[in-house]
Structure formats: structure tokens, C-alpha cells
Amino acid sequence: MKNRLPLFVAALATLFITLAASAQGEWKWAHYWTGGDGSYGDYYNKIINTAFDDEGNIYVYGTMGGSPKYDENTLQFTTSAQVLNSNKKSILLAKFDTLGNMLWYKVVKNSGSYCTPLWMEVRNNRVFISGNVEMEYVDYNWGNVWLYYLDTLIRGAQVHAIPVENRRPPYQTGRWTFFAILDTDGDVSDQHFIEAYSRERYLQGNEEVRVVSPLCQSGEETNLVHWDSNGNYYVYSPIQYSGVETDSLTIIVDGDSNKIYNLFLPGNVSPNSYNNACINNAILYKFSPSGDLIFHKPLVDHTDGIASSYQFTGDSINRYFYCRYSGLSFDEEDNMYITGRMELAENTVSGGGLLHQYPVHYWWDSIHHLTANDISSAYACNFIVKYNTDGDVVWSNQVYTRVQNPENFVTVGFNRSQVNSNAVYVCGEAKNTPNTDSNIYFEQDEENTIGRSSIEQERRAFYAMFDKTTGTYIKNDFIPNETESSLANAGSASPAIVNNQLVMLATTGKTSKQIGLARWCIDGSFIDFAPAVSYPVSYCGTGPTIINNSGNVVCTIQMIGDMAFTNNVVVNGSPATSNAVLALYSNPEFAQPFVPDDSVGIDEYYQNREREIYLYPNPTDGHTTVCGYMYGYRSIELLDLQGRKLATLLDSPHGTDVPEIDLSPYPSGTYLVKINFERGVSVVRKIVRS
């Protein structure tokens, strides 16, 4: 195996291309952690999410295997060799300073089963994390099983000594999802543990039994979590369930008998149903800071277009689909933007008959839905859905695909999104069969196609832009194909936005592969793709990208073997297992607004963008939003038609994303909305309060 894995050689240096974006930009440092992997292709060492705090420190959340090392040094989070060496997928949270020094780290590790990270956010000097944990409960293993939870080693024998009625997570056997809040020193200030009891009930002897699972049932990166500005937390998780609608899914928070919630889900699957399979769906949960369940809402309300002969009696939702999620972003009002895809089951089932009648519709509610037009979109129907803080769908949109010959293929994969000003940007990758009738398009009337002429079989990274307020598709763009060897632009991770620039880390290349930063202006115009690393490796993937206002870019890469960046920044990674790489690129120009047109100055560029600012809706019955390029606004005022100030509606220095304006306290009539920018100019727009 080692003969097939890459070794670092000096000759690679000739392949490294200095970032063309600016001579001032350079890679500052790169570090990695590694540990044991699972079976072939099951790479344990990976970064799930990264974040900056207000001081520029970096927080990293991910997975690791057994006997973990940071660079060449063993991570000694416990003196027990058994804990350290047990090769199970585990959770690692670490903090770095701007020089790349690891300041502290926390671990969640189990000797008997996986611990999987779900999400991490940093805001207001607090670190929010979530993950799935299981404490083994088989009797014959009581003395040998342990769980290392953050700073505490919990042994099965200790738990076994506690009366069952007194056990609470993490001192409890079973499977649960945890939500923890830490300060910037890594100390836990609050935490909650949630477990879910299946709605399917069966007898074990004379006792009724239900399966107990974490609230988030699947692995990392498919469960989306967000803490809002008030400390409420939202959990968006796929779920498989069987049983009948009259039986409940039961949620228990912190093992508290006062926080037991019975949830009734659509769909009726009896144990004797076809293939004994479960219903696939997803649920959006909202919990208060104290762990009280505020609401739960299934993702798919109902479906149509799935052959009625295969529906189950009494079903309000059919089980022949699968939910896959790729990302979550949110705006300053805590509206959530979920990206993902729906997959239909096979087109026919044994016993004959078509399973689907196209088009297939997945209804989010009674108004909004996702459409699968034909067999091409049955495989992966990509969507973006906006939810408000009440869990209501505001709008939804999607990528459409179509083929005439089922032997051809066309696929699109949405990754994570980013919200800026009045737009939502989604990164992704697309490919189809060349010279065929396969097609990819962003509008249902098959306008704005991105298929035959622009994608030649190999995957290509792209972004798509949607209006934040209405969900309307605006435009998309690909990393251009400049040479034959760069036909295989593979999709990236989450995009980052700072100072009028959209940046994403992507891989490209067919034989000699490269990783680099692709940049667009937020108006959608392509700036450049600047390769930073070349590697002849068989496995390499990109992860989240983040930027702060100082021009520092944190990039994450998962790879096998060594890797060298420009500016003599080198990672001497393990050649035998996966490596999670964290690298910092710094460019002072990223700290300044980008002007795409060299023929105009910065003032003229601002003037052109500010002319495009508008209010939506207008007229309004009370609430409206300022739409357009809002970089550096200082305040928003309400004036009468004579220009007299009535109120300051918003006061947000250095703002870029404008919250909703509330005019409901004011009587019907016509007003002026004045937007004041830091650079000393103002924009005035007329608004009608109906």
C-alpha cells in the first residue's frame, strides 16, 4: 500500500504556483493531526468546521482515529494507553492562535463505539459544539468500557454502580446527542443531553421495549445545528422511523422526567410492510437554552408522484426517498438556509411495476415543494430551503436535471452556503455525460442551462447565487477550464465571503492535481483561480474555508501523505492514514473591498452598487428589507416626506447584512428610508406603508 501513497519530494516545488491574486498574499503555516483509520476508504481524521473569534484565534472541530498525533507529537489527553490507542472515530475540538500554536484541545472518545461531531460555532466569546455519543450497556462489558468526555474519564464499572433511576448523561449508558457551551479557555459552562426513543414498540418477554438513539441519528456532516442570538438551538436531522402514526417518537432531555416530549410523525409502516423498511424523513427541532423543546417539524410534509400501488394503507407520506444534507448557513436575523439533496429509491421494485410517476414532488409544506422531473433527478435532486425562526418555510429553490436516455447521467451536488447582503451563495460540483441530451438548469422552464457546452463529464466546481429575500435564482459560474489537465474541477466545501469577495477552496486537475483558492466578486464576476498546492496523490479533499476582516484565510484539507504549499510551508503527514490539515493564508488585500472594474475607482464602484439598493416588499404592511450591496452601512433612519427624522430604525456600525425593518408602529402613508454609510454618503429610498 505504501508504494501507492505519495512521498514528498523536492521536485514538487516546481509545480507550486504562487497565488496570483496578490503578491502580498502568502501561506503562513500549516499543521495537521492524524490517527488510525477504519476499513478501506473510511478516513477517520477530518475537519468538520472552523471558526474565528473576535481576537483572530481559530477553533477547529473534527474527527480523529486511535493513537492520535498533532504534527509529530502524541496527543496526550489522558494517561491511559487504552483510551489513547482505541481505534474508534472520536471528536477533537482545538483552539489555535494566529501563529498556528495549539492553545488547548478537548476530546470525546469511546472504547466501544464511535463518537461523531455534528457542528461547532463561535460567537460572543463562547464556543458551541454538538455531537453523538454512545456508552456501551452490554452487561459482560461493564468493567472494560469507558468514555472520555471532554475532561472526564467515565468507566462502565462506575456507571454500573449507580442506580438506574439516578443515572444522567454523560454518567448513563445508552446513546444520546450532546450540546455543550464552552468559554474561550475550553471550560464547559452549560450542556444538555438528548436521547430519542423509537415510536416502534415491541415486547421483550412481558416488557415493552423501544430502541433508544441519539437525537441526530446519522454520522457527522449530515446533522445541522445552529445556536441563535438568544441561545436557542436548532437541530436539523435526518431520521428513519417505523411504527404507526398513533405511536410517538419520544424525546427526553437531560434524563429529566419533566422534559419528556411525545412527537407524532406522519407515515404508517407496519412490521409486515414491503421489505420491512423504515420511512426516511428529517425533522427540524428548536430547543430553548434550558433544553425545553419549542417545536419539531418534519421536513417532508407529503409526497406525490410515487406510484400509489406501492403506498401503504394509511400513509400520509411515502417512504421511498432519502434525505441527504450538506450545509447550514444563517443570516443576522437567524433565518436558516439548508442545502442538500433528495434521493429516490430504485426506479422499479422486484415484482414488477414502476415505483415512480414523474414528476415527483416533495412538499415542504402546503405551498413549497421540490420537483424531480425524471430518472436523472431521482438520483440526486438538490435543494436550498430558507426557514425562519418559527420553523416555517420562507422559500425554496433547486437545481433541475434532465436526461432522455436513462443510461446517460447528470449529477449536481450542493455543498455549504454563505449569506451576504441580499444574496445566498451555494458552492457545489456538477458533471454529466458529454455529447448527450443530459442537461442541468436552474429554472424550471429550462432556461439558464449549464449542461452540454460547459460540463464535459469530469466534475467541475461552481457557485450559484439566490436572492436572500425571495429565493429567486440570480446567476452561477464555474472555475474556468484553462488547460486540458484542469477539466476535473472537483467540488469544494463551504464558501467564505469578506469585503466584496467570495472565496472557496477547490481541487482541480486530472493527473497532476492542485488545490487552490477560487475568487469571485459578490456581484458574480469571476476573479481568479490561484493554485497553491500540487500533489500526485490518489486521495485528497477540501473542507470548510473561513476568512476574517484582517485578511486571514483558514483552509482545511483531508489528505494522505505529505503536502507542500508555497512560501516553504510544508506538512509531513502520515503516508499510511488520513491527515486533517489546517493551513493559514494571509492577504492584506482581502481586508479591503474588492473593485472588479479597473477602469473605475472605489468611490465610483460604491456609487454604482448603491444605486441598486431597493426595499422589498414595497408597499409593505409593516415589514420590509433593504436589498442590495450594503457594505459599511452605519445606520438606517426613517424620515417624513419633508426630510424630518422620525426614528432611527437600525444602528449597526460596520454592518453588511441588514435585518428586517419594522414599520408596523407607524400609520399608513409614504415615508423616506435613509441609509447612512461609513464613508460619509447616504442613500434615500421611498417606502409606502399600506
- Of the candidates 333, 285, 263, the one whose C-alpha atom is nearest the C-alpha of residue 118 is 285
Cα separation, 346 vs 379, in Å, equals 9
How high is the pLDDT of residue 162?
82
Residues 251 and 222 placed together within one structural domain of the fold = yes
Coil, helix or strand at residue 119: strand
| Range in 141-150, 422-431, 548-557 the model is least confident about | 141-150
Cell of 105: 484541545
Instruction: State the pLDDT at residue 377.
Output: 81
14 is a domain residue:
yes
Same-domain pairing of 614 and 522: no
Q: Which of 462-466, 598-602, 685-689 has the highest mean pLDDT?
A: 685-689
Q: Mind listing the pLDDT tens digit for each residue in 63-79? A: 999 999 999 899 988 88
Q: Determine the pLDDT at residue 136.
A: 66
Specify the number of domains making up the chain: 2
The span from the CA of 431 to the CA of 437, in Å, is 13
Query: For cell 437600525, what's the residue?
Result: 650
**CA-only gyration radius of the chain, Å:** 26
Local confidence band at 645 (pLDDT 50, 70, 90 cut-offs): very high
Q: In terms of domains, do 411 and 533 share one?
A: yes
Q: Is the pLDDT of residue 85 over 70?
A: yes
More confident residue, 90 or 18: 90
Given 564, 591, 618, which residue is the final one in a domain? 591
| pLDDT score recorded for residue 178 | 95
**How far is 250 from 247, CA to CA, in rounded Å?**
9
User: What pTM value is reported for the model?
Assistant: 0.81
Residue 648 sits in which domain range? 602-689
Q: How far is 211 from 197, CA to CA, in rounded Å?
A: 6
CA distance 664 to 648: 14
Report the distance separating Cα 353 and Cα 436, nearest Å.
28
Residues 264 and 283 in one domain: yes
- Are residues 382 and 514 located together in one domain of the fold? yes
H helices of 524-610, in order, are: 602-610
Please answer whether residues 238 and 217 qualify as being in contact, where contact means their C-beta atoms are separated by less than 8 angstroms: yes
Integer CA distances (angstroms), 685 to 622, 628, 644, in order: 16, 12, 14
In angstroms, the CA 474 to CA 243 distance is 43
Better pLDDT: 358 or 180? 180
C-alpha cell at 480: 474556468
Q: Which of 73-87, 129-143, 162-176, 241-255 has the weakest average pLDDT?
A: 129-143
User: Final residue of a domain: which of 591, 617, 643?
Assistant: 591
DSSP string spanning 126-159?
EEEEEEEEEE---GGGTTT-EEEEETEEEEHHHH
More confident call, 433 vs 217:
217
Which residue is listed with cell 415615508?
671
**Residue of higher predicted confidence among 428 and 371:** 371
Amino acid, res. 566:
T
Q: Where are the alpha helices (DSSP H) in 563-663?
A: 602-610
Report residue 631 as a C-alpha cell.
457594505
Q: Which residues contact 282 (CB under 8 A, 6 or more apart)?
A: 236, 237, 238, 239, 298, 299, 300, 323, 325
Residue 5 has pLDDT above 70, yes or no: no
**Locus of grid cell 454502580:** 161
Q: What are phi and psi of 335, to 5 degrees?
A: -65, 145
Q: pLDDT by residue (tens digit) across 434-467?
A: 666 677 888 777 666 664 444 455 667 788 889 8
The answer to whether residues 376 and 457 belong to one domain is yes
CA distance linking residue 613 with residue 625, whole number of Å: 10
pLDDT in tens, 171-229: 877 889 999 999 999 999 999 999 999 888 877 778 888 888 899 876 655 678 999 98
Least confident of 140-149, 348-357, 420-429, 473-482: 348-357
Nearest Cα residue to 242 out of 285, 205, 222, 213: 213
Examine the domain organization and report whether 170 and 85 are in the same domain. Answer: yes
Pairwise CA distance, residues 140 & 142, whole Å: 6
What pLDDT is attached to residue 160? 79
What is the average per-residue pLDDT within 82-105?
92
Higher per-residue pLDDT: 322 or 513: 322
Q: Do 468 and 510 share a structural domain?
A: yes
Residue 2 reports pLDDT greater than 60: no
Give the 3-state secondary structure of residue 492: coil
* Residue 597 covered by a domain: no
Give percent above pLDDT 90 in the chain: 30
pLDDT band at 23 (very low <50, low <70, confident <90, very high): very low
Domain membership of residue 596 (yes or no) is no
